[in-house]
Amino acid sequence: MIRRIQESHSIVSFELVPIDVDRSLVFIAGQFVALRLSLPDGETLLRHYSLSGDPADTSRWRISVKLESTPPGRGSAHLHECVGVGDELELAGPAGAFVCDEGNERPVLLMSGGVGVTPHVSMLHRLALASARRVHVIHACENSVVHAFRDEIRRLAATRDGIQVHVCYRNPLASDEETCAYDSTGLLTKETLQSLLPLDDYEVYLCGPPGFMQASWRLLRELGVARLRIHYEFFGPATVLEPEETVGAPEPVPVAAPILAANESGISVRFHPQSDPLPWNPACGSLLEMAEQAGYAPAFNCRVGVCNACTTPLLAGRVDYIEKPLVPPPDGEVLLCCARPVTEVTLALQPPRT
C-alpha cells in the first residue's frame, strides 16, 4: 500500500501497487477485488471492495473503504486502524459484472447512496474521458462530513459537456448551506427525479445501502424505467429489490430437465436430496450454470470463485474446481460457480417453485 487518502469522515481510500511488477492492473470500471485480511487475533476475513480509481491508470489500484459502525465492521476497522503505507494486503480479482455497458449510446444514470458512490467514481472516469454519452450523477448522503469524492466528481463533470451532477443531503449542516454544497435536501423523490431527468431510455447503475436501493428502485420503476435497464450488485443473493416486483407475478417455471444433455461418463447431479438425478452436462461451465438451467436460483455474485456467495452444502460426492477459489470452502460445502462433479453428487439447494 503506497498511499492513504481520507475521502470523508468515514471513508478512506487505499492506493495499492503489486509486489509482482508483471502483475496486470487492468480492470473494468465497476469491478471489485476481494481482500483476505489476517486479524491480530489470528482470524481471517474475506471482504470485497469496489475499485474506485481511473481504469486508464494501470499503475495502481484504489479501493475506498467505509468504517462500518452499525453494526461494527471488523474488516473495515482493521483497514482503517491497522493498515498503513508500506503494508502488504492479499487480494484477488478484479471480478464482478456491475460494469458500464459501452455497447450502446443510451444516456447513463449513476445513482448512489453513501459509500455506494465508489464504483460510480470509476465509471465516471471512463464516461468522462472515453465517451460522449449524456451522464446524470445523482448522489445522496447525510451531509458534507460523510460526502466522499465531491471534488473529484465535480472535476470530472467539468471535463466535457453532457455530465450533470445532483447532490442530495438528508440533514445538511449550517456550513453546507453557506457553501452551497448540495442541490436538494431530505430524501430523493419522484418529483426530484422528474425535474432532473429528461424523458429517455436510460442505463441506470444503482448502488447504496439496502433502504436506499429499495426506495430508488421503486422510484425508477414508477418513472417507467425498464427493469432490464436498472443495473445493481450485491455481495450475496440480490433479494432486497424483489418484493416490489414480484407481488402478484406468476411463479417462475423451471426449465425442463431434457435440455440437460446426457453424457457418457454416467455422472449425475441431485440438486437436493428429494430431486431426481440429472445427467451432468459437460457443456455447462459449472454446477451453477447447470442448476440455473434446471430452474434453480442459487445465490451468486462473482462467478469466478472470489466472493463465496454461492457456497452450498455438498451432501454426497466429490467435485473439482475449474478456478481455484480464493478461500476454499469448508469440508462438506462447495462453490457452485467454479465446480464440476467428479462423481455423482448431491447438493442441498432449495427446490425451485412450481
Average confidence (pLDDT) over 328-352? 90
Among candidate residues 226, 171, 220, 211, the one with its CA nearest the CA of residue 193: 220
Residue 182 reports pLDDT greater than 70: yes
pLDDT band at 302 (very low <50, low <70, confident <90, very high): low
Residue 51, pLDDT > 70, answer yes
Q: Alpha-carbon Rg of the chain, whole angstroms?
A: 22
Position 165 scores a pLDDT of 97
- Percentage of the chain exceeding pLDDT 70: 88
CB 7 within 8 A of CB 149: yes
- Predicted local distance difference test score (pLDDT) of residue 259: 33
**What pLDDT sits at residue 353?**
57
Would you place residue 31 in the very low, low, confident or very high pLDDT band (cuts 50, 70, 90)? very high
Distance CA 177, CA 291 (A): 54
- Nine cell digits for residue 76: 473495515
Residue 41, pLDDT above cutoff 90: no
Q: How far apart are CA 168 and CA 170, in angstroms?
A: 6
**Bridge partners for 47 per DSSP:** 35
Strands (E) across the chain are located at 3-6, 11-16, 32-38, 44-50, 61-66, 90-95, 108-113, 135-141, 163-169, 184-185, 203-207, 230-232, 268-270, 278-279, 311-316, 319-321, 333-335, 339-341, 345-347
Check residue 214 and give its pLDDT: 86
The mean pLDDT value for 224-235 works out to 80
Q: Please give the pLDDT value at position 338.
A: 87
DSSP code string of 168-201: EESS--HHHHHHT--SEESS--HHHHHHHS-S--
> What are residue 322's phi and psi, to 5 degrees?
-70, -45
**pLDDT value, residue 251:** 35
pLDDT band with cut points at 50, 70 and 90 for residue 163: very high
Mean pLDDT on 188-192: 92
CB atoms within 10 A of CB 168: 19
pLDDT single digits (tens) 191-222: 999 999 887 788 999 999 888 888 899 899 88
Flag the least confident range among 43-47, 212-216, 248-252, 350-354: 248-252
Q: Cα 16 from chain centroid?
A: 20
Reported confidence tier of residue 246, pLDDT bands at 50, 70, 90: very low
Residue with the larger pLDDT of the pair 182 and 239: 182
Lowest mean pLDDT among 31-40, 122-131, 238-247: 238-247
For the sheet with 32-38, list strands across it: 44-50, 32-38, 90-95
| Least confident among 220-234, 264-278, 289-303 | 289-303
Bridge-partner residues for 341, per DSSP? 319
Whether the Cβ atoms of residue 268 and residue 347 lie closer than 8 Å to each other: no
Q: Is the pLDDT of residue 139 over 90?
A: yes
- Banded model confidence at residue 238, pLDDT cuts 50, 70, 90: very low
Q: Is the pLDDT of residue 253 over 60?
A: no
Tell me: pLDDT of 173 over 90: yes
Average pLDDT, the chain: 86
- Position 256 pLDDT exceeds 70: no
